[in-house]
Amino acid sequence: MMIVGVVGSGAMGSGIAQVAAMAGHQVVLADANAQALDKARASLGTNLQKLQEKGKINDAEDILRLISYVPFSAEHMQVFTGCGLVIEAVIERLDVKHNVFTNLESVVVDNCVLATNTSSLSVTSIAAACRRPARVLGLHFFNPAPLMALVEIIPAIQTDGVLLPTMNDLMIKWGKIPVAAKDTPGFIVNRVARPFYSEAIRICEEGIADMATIDWAMTEIGGFRMGPFTLMDYIGHDVNYVVTETVFQSFFFDPRYKPSFSQKRLLEAGWLGRKSGRGFYDYSPGATIPDANKNAELGKEIYERILSMLINEAVDALYLNVASAADLETAMTRGVNYPSGLLALCDKWGADKCLEKLDSLYHLYHEDRYRASPLLRKQAIGNKKFV
């Protein structure tokens, strides 16, 4: 069976290594930071032991023996020589990723596939650092990789088309649900989901409702598993804000993706969310979450405003061929656990009503962030269905 390399042993990299090893592959897990490797080794041991205790695997040690831990350095690069696939999962910096791929190309065989787990950077730009860019593509897993089923497969413009069905089949064998996405900023999930965060913050900044009320509206009325402020605190503002900023810059500063000063200030203060004990909410011992204003009319207004923005992003992604309708629906339900696909929600609500909501926001604010997708306008004529 093919040997799989993983570069970067943080939560994402070690999670991908676990997935590959549980599928029966020998795995080379590499990191330039020795402490990170030690932490990954301990974490993988604990995680797999828990799975064994729950009866989900037969023998944790059998899987752990498939994983080797090596420094990512010039002296140890030869360990990647036998790999058929290497997945990069390092920091979201283009220069660092270029360096990783350049070093890998110096030792891997010609038919080794090189994949990046980037969540928001250009796969095409990463591939451009390689002598053989045709073998480079994006495999974007979601955290935690062993639990989250979705994997976005993103070809660069240089990627050899034969790799796509091969990687699709491999991800299915790994127990994942693959979707295909165009190499545009944020791909599917990190593009379409942006209004869930940004519009919630905007509503709060305007004083229409506080954080607890917005979270209540989106969970109790909207059926989302977490409200936007709770979810941003859970993800961490060092991750969530940076993705928003990257997508905004990558879209040539399109106002639809504009970051929030409120969230940036949290990042600057080191209030990263649950991981630091403080974010939008206070998680220190004895702290309590404020009570929500459970006014049904207010809650419906909040929900419909955020939902209209989410639907518009999904519709525009379909309009611009970022992904198929089926993959858009799968990505949002299996990647971020939305209660329904956004296109299906549009069909249920009515494209005409969604358009009416967006146009009313645009007329109020005269901001381009509220412009409706041309496809939504077309669907609203006769209230046609998406799915």
- Residue 90 pLDDT class (50, 70, 90 cuts): very high
* Catalytic position from the list 152, 199, 313, 329: 152
- Per CATH, the number for 3-180 is 3.40.50.720
**Amino acid 387: pLDDT:** 92
- Please report, for the chain, the start and end positions of each structural domain, with discontinuous segments joined by +: 3-180, 190-380
* Catalytic position from the list 9, 190, 198, 308: 190
**Amino acid 74: pLDDT:** 87
206 is catalytic: no
The H or E element that residue 28 is part of is strand 27-31
Cβ atoms of 6 and 86 within 8 Å: the answer is: yes
- Residue 120 pLDDT class (50, 70, 90 cuts): confident
Angle between helices 237-250 and 261-269 (to 10 degrees): 130
* Catalytic position from the list 119, 122, 198, 373: 119
**Amino acid 118: pLDDT:** 95
Please state which architecture CATH assigns to domain 190-380.
Answer: Orthogonal Bundle (1.10)
The model's pLDDT over 158-195, given as tens digits with 9 standing for 90+, comes to 999 999 999 999 999 999 999 999 999 999 999 999 99
Angle at 319 between CA 317 and CA 325, to 5 degrees: 65
190 is catalytic: yes
The model's pLDDT over 1-42, given as tens digits with 9 standing for 90+, comes to 899 999 999 999 999 999 999 999 999 999 999 999 999 999
Q: State the average pLDDT for the chain.
A: 96
**Amino acid 345: pLDDT:** 98
* Catalytic position from the list 25, 140, 260, 312: 140
The model's pLDDT over 42-74, given as tens digits with 9 standing for 90+, comes to 999 999 999 999 999 999 999 999 999 999 998
76 is catalytic: no
Neighbouring residues of 273: CB distance < 8 A, sequence distance ≥ 6: 232, 233, 234, 235, 236, 237, 266, 279, 280, 283
What's the rounded Cα separation, in Å, for the pair 10 and 40? 7
Share of the chain above pLDDT 70, in %: 100
Structure-token pair, residue 185: 């900023």
Cβ atoms of 290 and 209 within 8 Å: the answer is: no
Question: Residue 213: pLDDT above 90?
Answer: yes
What's the rounded Cα separation, in Å, for the pair 282 and 202? 20
What's the rounded Cα separation, in Å, for the pair 368 and 359? 11
366 is catalytic: no
**Amino acid 141: pLDDT:** 97
What's the rounded Cα separation, in Å, for the pair 283 and 285? 7
The model's pLDDT over 239-249, given as tens digits with 9 standing for 90+, comes to 999 999 999 99
**Amino acid 321: pLDDT:** 98
